[in-house]
Structures are given as C-alpha cells and as structure tokens.
C-alpha cells in the first residue's frame, strides 16, 4: 500500500499570493495552449483543402487543354467536315475552353483563400507558442520565488505573466 503524501500548506501570506499567481498563470497557459493547438489543426485542415483545390484546378486545366487541342486539331484537319458541322464543333470546343477557364478562376480563388487561412492560423499558433513560453517561464520563476522567498522574483514572474497574457491577447486582433 502506498504511503500517504502530506502536502505542505502555505501558511505565509507571501506563499499564498505567489501560489495563487502561479495557479492563475497555469489556467491562462492551458487556454493559450488550447487555442494554439486549435489554430494548428485549422492550419492543417486549410492546407488539405488548399491542396485539394489545386488538384481540382489542375484537373480542370487538363480538360481545358484537351478541348483547346481538339479545337486546334479541328482547324488543322477539319476541312473534310461540313462547314456548318465544323463551325458547331469549333463553337462547342471554344465554349468548353471558356467554361473551364471560368471554373479554374473560381477554384483558384478558393485555393488562395485557403492559403491565406493557413498563414493566419500559423501566425495564431506562433503567437500562442510565444505566449505559452512566457507563461511557462513565469510559472517557473514564481515557483522559485516561493523557494527563495524573494519578492523581486515574484514581480518578475508577474511581469512575464502579463507579457504572456498581452501576447496572447494579440491573437484576437488577428482574427
């Protein structure tokens, strides 16, 4: 059977204040980490969507090229066809080329929008990473402040914590 571990109680007001500061910083750190992880996931999803759009764009390009080539072949060897039939085919091929060009432009716009989403979410994740580092260091410095009972370290911990919170708050300006 495991021995019961006794957790020391913070009796000194300084220890309690620093411990409360550390607890608040830990909660903020968990929120920052969650937002950063979500942004990373959204960036990966946007990258997949952008890749799919570019593949779709390429497929449309191939089809457009096929109709363009068919139109060129019709012009080169279509003299044996009835002029009305040749005109109808030329119009059909031209219309198809134009349609694929329009569709490609729409697809390109969607892919480029997804690429912007990748960049934005990457920046959010990077900002959350920086805020997380600041908060982690603040927690460590606060823990050391309790051990050495030095108020200046507690102040440094608070300053680092505020810097982490401010860095995290800038994430919401990016959205």
pLDDT tens digits, one per residue of 56-84: 999 999 999 999 998 888 877 767 778 88
Predicted pLDDT of residue 55: 96
pTM: 0.77
Predicted pLDDT of residue 154: 96
Predicted pLDDT of residue 75: 79
Domain boundaries of the chain, sorted by first residue: 13-173
Predicted pLDDT of residue 98: 94
Per-residue pLDDT 10s for the chain (175 aa) are: 567 766 666 678 899 999 999 999 999 999 999 999 999 999 999 999 999 999 999 999 999 999 999 888 887 776 777 888 888 888 998 999 999 999 999 999 999 999 999 999 999 999 999 999 999 999 999 999 999 999 999 999 999 999 999 999 999 997 6
Backbone angles phi, psi at 10, to 5 degrees: -80, 110
| 18-27: Cβ within 8 A, 24+ apart | 18/142, 18/145, 18/146, 18/154, 18/157, 19/146, 21/142, 21/154, 21/157, 21/158, 21/161, 22/139, 22/142, 22/143, 22/157, 24/161, 25/135, 25/138, 25/139, 25/142, 25/157, 25/161, 25/164, 26/139
The closest of 23, 2, 57, 1 to 157, measured between CA atoms, is 23
Predicted pLDDT of residue 63: 94
Predicted pLDDT of residue 1: 55
């Amino acid at each position: 059977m495991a021995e019961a571990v006794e957790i020391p109680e913070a009796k000194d007001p300084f220890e309690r204040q620093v411990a409360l500061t550390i607890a608040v910083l830990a909660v903020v750190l968990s929120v920052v980490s969650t937002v950063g992880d979500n942004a990373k996931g959204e960036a990966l999803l946007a990258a997949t969507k952008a890749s799919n759009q570019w593949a779709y764009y390429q497929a449309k390009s191939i089809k457009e090229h096929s109709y363009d080539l068919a139109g060129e072949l019709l012009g080169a060897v279509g003299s044996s066809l009835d002029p009305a039939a040749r005109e109808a085919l030329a119009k059909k091929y031209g219309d198809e080329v134009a349609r694929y060009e329009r569709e490609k432009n729409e697809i390109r716009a969607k892919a480029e929008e997804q690429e912007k989403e990748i960049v934005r979410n990457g920046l959010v994740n990077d900002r959350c990473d920086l805020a997380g580092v600041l908060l982690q260091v603040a927690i460590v410095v606060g823990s050391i402040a309790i051990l050495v009972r030095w108020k200046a370290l507690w102040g440094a911990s608070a300053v680092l914590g505020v810097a982490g919170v401010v860095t995290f708050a800038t994430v919401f300006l990016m959205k």
